[in-house]
Structure 1
Amino acid sequence: MGVFMRPLDVPIGVSDFKALREGRRYYVDKTAFIGEVLRAPPQVLLFPRPRRFGKSLNMSMLKCFLERTPEDRRPLFEGLAVMQDPDALAHFQQYPVIYTRLGTVWAGDRVEARETLREEARRIYEAHSYLLTEGALAPHERVRFLEIFERRADEALLCSALADLSRFLHRYHGKRVVILVDEYDAPLHLSQVHKSFAETVDLIRKFLHSGIKDNPHLAKGVLTGILRISNESIFSGLNNVVTYSILCSECATSFGFTEEETTKILRDAEAYEQRERVRRWYQGYLFGQQSIFNPWSVLNFVRQSDVRFLDYWARESPSDISEELIARWFTQCYDDFEKLLRDEVIEKPIQDHIALRDATSHQETVWSILVMAGYLRAEVIAQREEDEDGEPICELSFPNREVRGKFTRIFKRWMEAGIGGKPGLAELEMSLFEGNAERLAVLLEGFLLKLSNYDRAPKEIEAHYHVFLMGLLITLEGRIFEIKSNRESGYGRYDVMLIPKRPGLPGVVMELKVLPARGSKVPSKAKVEATLEAALLQIETLEYAQDLRERGAKPIHQIAVVFSGKRAWVRSRRASPRRLPSR
């Protein structure tokens, strides 16, 4: 029988705060963010956060609270935290607000970017079309307004749209404006994929600068996106923009769900007993020093009546720049990705200012993008807080099971391609299942030929092959085998062990050896034979197979693997049924 809970009426995909509140949909109170924004000293604030972490809803909430309108919006905020914040309430419905979402701007090339930006500018102006009928515009201003409103504006006029509108609104309302820019970097991600980055950056920079750079009509600006694109591009020359990234403690709980918020959600859904599994699947993000849950996945989890732990956030993601970068850098970063998949941490300098143009040529940029995009958890190492460039050194790991699963699928697809697709992977599994040394050697060598980074110094080489083999075997984990590495068994520590999921199935214990590669020269047959026998003798003498015996594996394949450059040799021998004496 399945496990059931009370589904909540959660607003999946709804980013309109007014519609959410008027529809009495389930809402996790994030209105304290309003006071944080208003009290923050910077004139313009940028909040880079992973996708689906509530950025658009928070921006809609800010608009509803701050926007001057004849409609009394107090009922929308009834019972919420901001109503207990007198500083914030002093700003309630006091400002003309310009609100734009650049996620609507498609940047396949400059022409397409300009056309879609022209449509977004028309939408912005339409929200303030009352200026046309109120006699608020001089004749030449009316002409400029209509050219944008009717989508006839040339690029120069289009790029001054925010400056013009903020001037019109300031004069009409007698109050400086608030400018809210949601998904400011969306066109840049698309342009990176479509190879039109420089042109798109130039267009978006001009458009944004007109509103937030040296604008005397601006009271406050708030931008959200996934990344903080570095100063050489969008924010070049902007000294009034301050970034509150996931490495900062300020506003750390404003996006995503805290432990307390998630506990309340689970209680409301009558699913409190699932809290530990929810933590494993959806928690693990670190914003400042706050542990954060993925809000998209948590809300998807509680909107159904039956308990299903699925990777809602990871699978919902379109192919984005993060996946493009993983594919591009996979072989060069193989060791690091494989360590992450073994639930180990890696140490990297992390930048919160990203130069996207370097992403395809600088490996260090990849890790920063993966952290900011929500694919990796970053924890600053206190004792080595900064490297020589002033960048924090962070321990990186997968935040939770959901994200780890996404990487495992990417990793598995790449491994499958390298070994001949699903048939090749099945053949690898069968060669281990049967202890077929000859076939295993062919498969390993074939895969090594596809990798380009096996010319390491002698000190590093054995560990590197170990990483390679473990990465390959991880793709087999789950159905038949449990994969272990460097664990104690018998009188020593084996290199690799494949433990059957149930007694009576074959088990495998492996010992790896490396012979130095000297150019194209292959080690002598005698040397290879002696090394293979030495590895098998080590397995037998140190009784590495003991754990497999205790787990009921039958038969047990003892496998020696010798690597040299991109060559591999394998020898297999069945273990005897004897057991170690009791200790």
Structure 2
Amino acid sequence: MAEMISVREAAMRWNITERRVATLCKNGRIAGAEKQGNRWLIPADTQKPADQRLKTGAFRKTERAPKLPLPIGVSNYCLASSEYYYIDKTMMIKDFIDERPMVTLFTRPRRFGKTLNMDMLRTYFEKSDKDTSVYFRDKKIWACGQKYRDYQGKYSVIFLTFKDVKFDTWEETFAAIRDIFAKETRRHKELLASDKCDEYSKKTYEKLADGKVSEVELASALLDLSAMLHKHYAVAPIIIIDEYDTPIQQGYQKDYYDKVIRFMRNLFSGGFKDNQHLSFGFLTGILRVAKESIFSEMNNLSINSVLDNKYSAYFGFTADEVMEMAEYYGAADKYDEICQWYDGYRFGKTEIFNPWSVVNYFSNECEPRPFWVSTGSNDIIGEVLAQADEEIYNRLTSLVNGETFTTFIDTGVIYPQIKSNPSTIYSFLLVTGYLKALKTTPSFSGDFMCEVSLPNREISLVYNKEILQRLENLIPPSTAISVQEAIFSGDNARLKAQIQTLLTQSVSSFDTAGENFYHGFMLGLCALLGGAFVTSNRESGDGRYDIQLKPTQKGLPGILIELKAEKNCSDEKLKKLSETALQQINDKKYETELTTAGVRTIYKYGVAFSGKKVEVAVG
């Protein structure tokens, strides 16, 4: 019987994604491929199939029609669906109507389409003087039948977004929320002249619209406004609150957490708990924040987290959607690169691409960058890292090395747990988009045990830049510059001296226990350097290098670093160990990726550690 290999092994040999290999098997492009259960097996001697997809240049020659602009930062559904390239997510409406929970909470990482989807729901359900059905007649929901069309334009809607409520004090935060309510109240100006509303209700309306309400009065605003809309239209309204937890995160960071939690608890209790003036409610956020009793005793709340299957395909892009988008913009041959950089998320059982990064990738002329990293604050992660012990730090560095591990995940993790239980870092990283759940198993407590990994290359770079940069507090800027100069000039004596100083002055003895620490230490150090993409534990040549610095500008050198570590080494043995590391770079041809990319000058470093001693060999 012929030797067979797995999809993963084939993907590594051919330097394409596992998803692409599986697609080739499914489409009959790989002779002799067999499916056993859920796995494809491929003859070991099979050559990589020729790429028959349309190439960029050929596409542009035959397709000359102007392209729709990319919806970068567009969260208005009417605008996005009519004037930009829009990926149809309207079947989310059908799924909701079929289930019709009273209140639905969607938790997803930032920039995964939450606001756009909430505006889609608002546009579909909301009564309007304009015929808003025109924005759905060419969408999938309209083909589902009259049952679903009957919901279009049937309800009044209260729509609030807290995504920009990021202030240093509770007083400023309250003023901002009060202003958001005032603007939304004025949007329903028909209530002021309504003969269905009594004078007391109209006075309440005027105070809300003028922004002249107290904290107690604003806490009942959802209940008051929904009651008025119910009376006026004789149909209870829909309430949508987008990014509800932004003020809560800000409150935790700026020390007014208890005040914002108390206010939100009262606000949501009036608006969503036993509110007879509510048809349906929707909320979005990054965290569930349920354990603070913000949603206490809300038996009508349906929660959809990153681990749940319902609605899993509606936030972010699926593989088919990205393939179609790549074809449209004449970049079908870039699909594998898009997968390596921006695929890898798993919501429920659905593989998802980061939508923000994919859109920016096409906008950036298909030049990959870590676009997602600059879209928000990660101060919470920095605070968790400040509390992390050696085991947590070693686990995080192992992720950058391409490893996985199984850990407890609580999708209801809350901010105060950070200091009391630093191991919540994994739950935070998963729900905020920095980890992927490869395998999920319910635990005895009702939460989950998950095998986790990094989703893709973009997040690996983010780890280097944001998570491992906790070393920035240990490394003076002048030292970082000296290290950069030594690395880019091939000065091994100077590099050795700088690393030796850092190990001696900045690192406690227990940190030097394992090789993972040294790998993380060097990755963090390299992350502080400019002018290069830092990658770790990736295939090149005949093996996997430890660390590579690929220049972002032509003319700069590329860097390869191989690490070795042993305890209690003599100076002579340590020197030989560094030379062994350097020889491995040459023997395994780790420079292949850099030379293929056109990098002409490549510095190779073999770095050996023993305790706080270091030796550097350069070639």
Q: TM-score, normalised by structure 2?
A: 0.77
Rounded Cα–Cα distance in structure 1 between residues aligned with 2:386 and 2:87: 38
| Matching residue's letter, 2:510 | D
Given the alignment, which residue of 450, 454, 457 partners 1:398? 454
What residue identity is the alignment partner of 1:311? P
Q: Secondary structure at the match of 2:317?
A: coil
2:565 corresponds, among 491, 495, 512, to 512
1:291 aligns with 2:351: yes
Question: What letter corresponds to residue 392 of structure 1 in structure 2?
Answer: F
Counterparts of 1:422-437 in structure 2, within 5 Å, are 423-424=479-480, 426-427=482-483, 430=486, 433-436=490-493
| AA in 2 matched with 1:252 | S
Identify the residue that residue 215 of structure 2 maps to in structure 1. Answer: 155
Q: Which residue of 2 aligns with 1:548?
A: 586
Looking at structure 1, the residues matched to 131 and 549 of structure 2 have their Cα atoms a distance apart, in angstroms, of 66
Q: Is the 8 A contact 1:109 1:196 kept in 2?
A: yes
CA contact (8 A) 1:183 1:224 kept: yes
Query: What's the counterpart of residue 360 of structure 1?
Result: 419
- Following superposition, the deviation at residue 156 of structure 1 comes to 1.8
TM-score when scaled to structure 1?
Answer: 0.81
CA distance in 1, matches of 2:223, 2:532: 60
Q: Does 1:96 align with 2:96?
A: no
1:513-532 → structure 2 map (5 Å cutoff): 513-515=566-568, 531-532=570-571
Which of 130, 147, 160 is the equivalent residue of 1:71? Answer: 130
Against the structure 1 CA distance between its residues 485 and 68, is the aligned structure 2 distance closer, same or farther, given a 3 Å change threshold? Answer: closer
- Residue 410 of structure 1 aligns with an amino acid whose one-letter code is E
Q: Among the aligned pairs, what percent are the same residue?
A: 25
Q: Specify the alignment match of 1:521 in structure 2.
A: none
The answer for unaligned runs of 5 or more in structure 2 is 1-55, 61-65, 592-601
1:471 CA drift (Å): 3.7
Equivalent of 1:204 in 264, 280, 285: 264
**Structure 1: any 5+ residue segments left out of the alignment?**
516-527, 576-583
1:169 is paired with a residue whose SS is helix
Deviation of residue 360 (structure 1)? 3.3
List per-residue Cα deviations over 1:18-39 (Å, max 9, x = no partner): 2334x53221111001111222
Change over 3 Å in CA distance of 1:170–1:308 after alignment to 2: same
The yes-or-no answer on 1:215 pairing with 2:242 is: no
1:225 aligns with 2:285: yes
**Residue 258 of structure 1: how far off its partner (Å):** 0.6
Per the alignment, do residues 549 and 35 of structure 1 end up closer, same or farther by CA in structure 2, a change over 3 Å counting? Answer: closer
Residue of structure 1 in register with 2:38 after alignment: none
Contact 1:17–1:64 (CA under 8 A) maintained in structure 2: yes
Asked if structure 1 preserves the Cα contact closer than 8 Å seen for 2:549 and 2:560, the reply is yes
Q: Show the counterpart of 1:275.
A: 335
CA shift at 1:535, angstroms?
4.9
Aligned to 2:188: 128
Distance of 2:344 and 2:380 partners within structure 1: 19
Match of 2:398 in 1: 339
Residue correspondences, number: 540
**Cα separation, 1, equivalents of 2:268 and 2:97:** 21
Change (3 A) 1:425 1:361: farther
Which sits farther off after the overlay, 361-370 or 418-427? 418-427
Decide whether the 8 Å contact of 1:297 with 1:313 is kept in 2.
yes
Q: Note if contact 1:107-1:200 (Cα within 8 Å) is conserved in structure 2.
A: no
Once the two structures are superposed, residues 498-557 of structure 1 have per-residue CA deviations (whole angstroms, 9 ceiling, x without a partner) of 99999x999876643224xxxxxxxxxxxx6xx3445556788x8983653675999998
Q: Is 2:513 the counterpart of 1:461?
A: yes
* Cα distance in structure 1, aligned partners of 2:139 and 2:510: 61
Q: Which has the larger radius of gyration?
A: 1
In 1, Cα distance between the equivalents of 2:189 and 2:331?
A: 48
For 2:572 and 2:306, the matched residues in 1 are separated by 53
Between 1:108-117 and 1:148-157, the stretch displaced more is 108-117
Match for residue 372 of structure 1? 431
2:107 partner letter: P
Tell me what 2:201 maps to: 141
Partner of 1:40: 99
Larger RCO (alpha carbons 8 Å, 6+ apart): 1
Q: Aligned-pair distance for 1:224?
A: 0.7
CA deviations on 1:296-339 (whole Å, 9 max, x unpaired) are: 122223345x3322222222x23244443355346653212211
- Residue number in structure 2 paired with 1:319: 377
- Distance of 2:282 and 2:127 partners within structure 1: 17
Partner of 2:16: none
Alpha-carbon displacement from aligned partner over 1:77-123 (angstroms, at most 9, x marks no partner):
11101102234223121112111112244443222222112111112
Q: Alpha carbons of 1:441 and 1:411: their partners in 2 closer, same or farther (altered >3 Å)?
A: farther
RMSD: 3.9
Distance 1:151 1:484 in 2: 56
User: Match of 2:386?
Assistant: 328
The SS at the match of 1:243 is strand
Whether 2:139 is the aligned partner of 1:80: answer: yes
DSSP-derived class of the 1:419 partner: coil
| Distance in structure 1 (CA, Å) of the matches to 2:561 and 2:369 | 31
Point out the more displaced range, 441-450 or 223-232.
441-450
